[in-house]
Structure 1
Amino acid sequence: LSRQFRSSAFAQQLLDILRILRVPSWSQTTAPHPLPCIQKVAGSFTNAVFFVSSPSTSSRTLLLRVYGPSSDTLIPRLRELQVLHVLSSRSKIGPRIYGTFTNGRLEEYFDSVTLTATDIREPQISGYIGARMAELHGVDVKTIEGQSHGSNVEIGVRKNVHSWLPHARDVLALPGVTPAIRKELDLDKFQMKWGSYMRWLKTAHVDAHPVLCHNDAQYGNILRLNSVEEGKPGHHQIIVVDFEYASPNPAAFDIANHFHEWTANYHGPTPHLLDPTLYPTRAEQRTFLAAYLENRITPVDAPFDSPAPVFSELSPTARERELIALENAVRVWSPSSHAMWAMWGLVQAREDVLGHVVNPDFDYVGYARCRMAAFYRELATLGV
Structure 2
Amino acid sequence: GGLSNLLFKCALPEHILSVGDEPRQVLLRVYGAILQVSVVTPDPPNSGFHGQCPQGVDSLVLESVMFAILAERALGPRLYGVFPQGRLEQYIPSRRLRTEDLQDPDISKEIAVKMSRFHGMVMPFNKEPKWLFGTMEWYLKQISELTFPEEEQRKKFNHLKNYNLQEEMKNLRELLEATPSPVVFCHNDVQEGNILLLAGHAASSSDKLMLIDFEYSSYNYRGFDIGNHFCEWVYNYTHESWPFFKASPENYPSRQQQLHFIRHYLSEDSGRRGDTTHEEQACIEEEMLTEINRFALASHFFWGLWSILQAKISTIKFGYLDYAQSRFEAYFQHK
TM-score by length of 2: 0.84
Match runs of 1:139-154 below 5 Å: 139-141=121-123, 143-145=124-126, 153-154=128-129
Runs (5+) with no aligned partner, structure 1:
1-42, 299-306, 380-384
- Do the aligned partners of residues 154 and 66 (structure 1) sit closer, same or farther apart at CA in structure 2, a change above 3 Å counting? same
Runs (5+) with no aligned partner, structure 2:
38-53
Provide the C-alpha distance between the structure 1 equivalents of 2:287 and 2:249, rounded to a whole number of angstroms.
Answer: 23
- The equivalent position to 1:115 in structure 2, one of 88, 92, 97, is 97
Provide the C-alpha distance between the structure 2 equivalents of 1:102 and 1:95, rounded to a whole number of angstroms.
Answer: 19
> 1:51 offset after TM fit, Å?
1.4
**Helix, strand or coil at the partner of 2:235:** coil
> 1:325 offset after TM fit, Å?
1.4
**Helix, strand or coil at the partner of 1:236:** coil
Contact 1:135 1:297 in 2 (8 A): no
> 1:179 offset after TM fit, Å?
4.8
- The equivalent position to 1:106 in structure 2, one of 88, 92, 97, is 88
Q: Which has the larger radius of gyration?
A: 1
Match of 1:20 in 2: none
Match of 1:183 in 2: 158
RMSD between superposed Cα atoms in Å: 2.4
Match of 1:87 in 2: 70
Q: Does 2:60 align with 1:77?
A: yes
- Do the aligned partners of residues 235 and 157 (structure 1) sit closer, same or farther apart at CA in structure 2, a change above 3 Å counting? farther
Provide the C-alpha distance between the structure 2 equivalents of 1:318 and 1:235, rounded to a whole number of angstroms.
Answer: 27
> 1:228 offset after TM fit, Å?
5.9
Match runs of 1:51-62 below 5 Å: 51-56=9-14, 57=17, 59-62=23-26
Q: Does 2:141 align with 1:159?
A: no
Look up the equivalent residue of 1:176 and give its one-letter code: E
For these two proteins, the number of residue pairs brought into alignment is 306
**Helix, strand or coil at the partner of 2:282:** helix
- Do the aligned partners of residues 195 and 187 (structure 1) sit closer, same or farther apart at CA in structure 2, a change above 3 Å counting? farther
Contact 1:216 1:258 in 2 (8 A): yes
Q: Does 2:244 align with 1:282?
A: no
Identical residues among aligned pairs (%): 28
Look up the equivalent residue of 2:132 and give its one-letter code: V
- The equivalent position to 2:214 in structure 1, one of 243, 259, 282, is 243
- Do the aligned partners of residues 320 and 110 (structure 1) sit closer, same or farther apart at CA in structure 2, a change above 3 Å counting? same
Match of 2:330 in 1: 374
Q: Does 2:238 align with 1:267?
A: yes
Look up the equivalent residue of 1:309 and give its one-letter code: G
Contact 2:68 2:79 in 1 (8 A): yes
Deviation track 1:183-217 (CA, whole Å, cap 9, x = no partner) reads 3111771111111220232223x22x321111111
**Helix, strand or coil at the partner of 1:235:** coil
**Helix, strand or coil at the partner of 1:106:** strand
> 1:234 offset after TM fit, Å?
4.0
Contact 1:138 1:297 in 2 (8 A): no
TM-score by length of 1: 0.74
> 1:129 offset after TM fit, Å?
0.4
Look up the equivalent residue of 1:336 and give its one-letter code: A
Look up the equivalent residue of 1:50 and give its one-letter code: F
- The equivalent position to 2:292 in structure 1, one of 330, 345, 356, is 330
**Helix, strand or coil at the partner of 2:206:** helix
Look up the equivalent residue of 2:305 and give its one-letter code: M
Provide the C-alpha distance between the structure 1 equivalents of 2:139 and 2:295, rounded to a whole number of angstroms.
Answer: 19
